[in-house]
Amino acid sequence: MTSNRPLAERMRPQSLDEYVGQQHLVGNGSVLRKIIDSGHVPSFILWGPPGVGKTTLAQIISRQLDIPFYTLSAVNSGVKDVREVIDKVKSNQFFSKNRPILFIDEIHRFSKSQQDSLLSAVETGVITLVGATTENPSFEVIRPLLSRCQVYVLKSLEEKDLLELLDKTLKNDVELKERKIEVKETAALLRFAGGDARKLLNIIELVIGSDENEEVVITDEKVIDRLQENPAAYDKGGELHYDIISAFIKSIRGSDPDGAIYWLARMVAGGEDPKFIARRLVISASEDIGLANPNALLLANACFDALTKIGWPEGRIILAQTTVYLATSPKSNSAYLAIDEAIAVVEQTGNLPVPLHLRNAPTKLMKELNYGKDYKYAHDYENNFVQQQFLPEEIKNKQFWNPQDNPAELRLREHMKKLWKK
């Protein structure tokens, strides 16, 4: 009898012993294994690409410890759904020994208000939060929530993991073990799966399901024929998306125009959103090139504007021109370092008072309180400059911007030295 359940669901592991991959987390003596064995599970977030077992791992933990398990998907759940689950947990807390797990799939898609609605329940121990995300939680999860969760990184499955899963599937699946299946070649299977267990199982199901012969021989040619897609497929929503844009930006930062153009071509061929690429170029122009070549930001911004006017496919030429220009420009991150240093000082020192001479004085009372008194209007002085204090008294000698060793910033440094005599 044929099951209506997909192969990936039929092969979902029910215990850690059946779980394939992620041995750094669930192997003997590993961090999650120790936590599970202790019986005390803290809130945590599982970060990794699709199809590596994030949801499965959360379910196994719940099952193994006999903990009530609630699940929400950030795609179709809102604040109301979160509150309903929390209220339900509170009403049942006297009937359960263990703190329930609330599993939120794709937690990175929760808005700030949705994440805020979880905070109190996590803080007070009403629930144990387990989140799953394909995106860096330090960017997508609010800091108060992230500080209360451990983050565990799951990796794409290695070739040996996929081969182990393939072997287990053919031997143990209730339907496939009844058929005569020979795996003659695995290169295409592994290439198309790309470290994703779910993709591997879906491919196996498609290839075997479309073969009516009693004996099925899996070859690279058969896999490619059944899938009819590009082996270099680019997943705009997955891990590869972030890896390639990272390689692209790092090639620009490293002044390698060939590397940058290659990764640009990978994104163009994969159907990446051109505006996403253009936005990253604008950021790089400030973060990595900055004051060493201020024209880089102008060109990157013009690139973004031109893309909206020209469209595709000619837009790839504009992206290429800007990419090469940024990659071959002199580099400086002095402005980037300056703002980060200033923010760090603000966080350490709090709201230091604005010096009176720099304050605005639109009313008579403010003038009587010496707001704006002794302020010197720079344009009234020679070279449009006069020395005065612009930082709060407590940090008056702090220097945030440090010019770097490139012709443009050396000129700026000499100009500043001439004005400030230091």
- Model-wide pTM > 0.95: no
For residue range 69-85, list pLDDT tens digits in order. 888 877 777 778 878 88
pLDDT at 69: 82
Per-residue pLDDT band for 232 (boundaries 50, 70, 90) equals: very low
Q: Is the pLDDT of residue 293 over 70?
A: yes
Q: Is the pLDDT of residue 297 over 90?
A: yes
Assess if CATH 1.10.10.10 describes domain 239-328: no
Tell me the average pLDDT across 278-293: 91
Tell me the average pLDDT across 303-321: 89
Per-residue pLDDT band for 344 (boundaries 50, 70, 90) equals: confident
Single out the residue of 91, 138, 134, 85 nearest to residue 114, CA to CA.
85
pLDDT at 209: 78
Residue 289 corresponds to which tokens in the numbers above?
């090139």
pLDDT at 1: 42
Q: Which of 97-111, 171-185, 232-246, 290-304 has the lowest mean pLDDT?
A: 232-246
User: For the chain, which residues make up each domain, given as ranges?
Assistant: 22-153, 159-227, 239-328, 351-420
pLDDT at 370: 81
Q: Is the pLDDT of residue 191 over 90?
A: no
Contact 266/244 with Cβ under 8 angstroms?
A: yes
**Which is it for the CA torsion 315, 319, 320, 322, positive or negative?**
positive
Q: What is the mean pLDDT of the chain?
A: 83
Q: Is the pLDDT of residue 197 over 80?
A: yes
So what CATH class is 22-153?
Answer: alpha beta
Tell me the average pLDDT across 93-112: 76
Q: Is the pLDDT of residue 25 over 80?
A: yes
Q: Is the pLDDT of residue 284 over 90?
A: yes
pLDDT at 331: 93
Q: Is the pLDDT of residue 94 over 80?
A: no
Per-residue pLDDT band for 231 (boundaries 50, 70, 90) equals: very low
Q: Is the pLDDT of residue 283 over 80?
A: yes
Tell me the average pLDDT across 204-229: 78
pLDDT at 97: 62
pLDDT at 404: 83
For residue range 349-408, list pLDDT tens digits in order. 888 888 888 788 778 787 878 888 888 888 888 888 888 888 888 888 888 888 888 888
Per-residue pLDDT band for 322 (boundaries 50, 70, 90) equals: very high
Tell me the average pLDDT across 174-201: 83
Spatial separation of the C-alpha atoms in residues 96 and 389, rounded to whole Å: 63
* Contacts of 253-259 spanning 24+ positions with Cβ under 8 A: 253/284, 253/288, 253/331, 255/327, 255/328, 255/331, 256/327, 257/323, 257/324, 257/327, 257/328, 259/327
Q: How far is CA 348 from the centre of its chain?
A: 27
Cis peptide before 144 (omega within 30 of 0): no
Which CATH fold topology does 351-420 show?
post-AAA+ oligomerization domain-like (1.10.3710)
Which CATH fold topology does 159-227 show?
Helicase, Ruva Protein; domain 3 (1.10.8)
Contact 131/82 with Cβ under 8 angstroms?
A: no
Spatial separation of the C-alpha atoms in residues 153 and 198, rounded to whole Å: 18
Tell me the average pLDDT across 277-300: 92
Spatial separation of the C-alpha atoms in residues 88 and 71, rounded to whole Å: 13
Q: Is the pLDDT of residue 288 over 50?
A: yes
DSSP letter string, 94-121: GG-SSPPEEEEETGGGS-HHHHHHHHHH
Residue % of the chain over a pLDDT of 70: 94
pLDDT at 234: 46
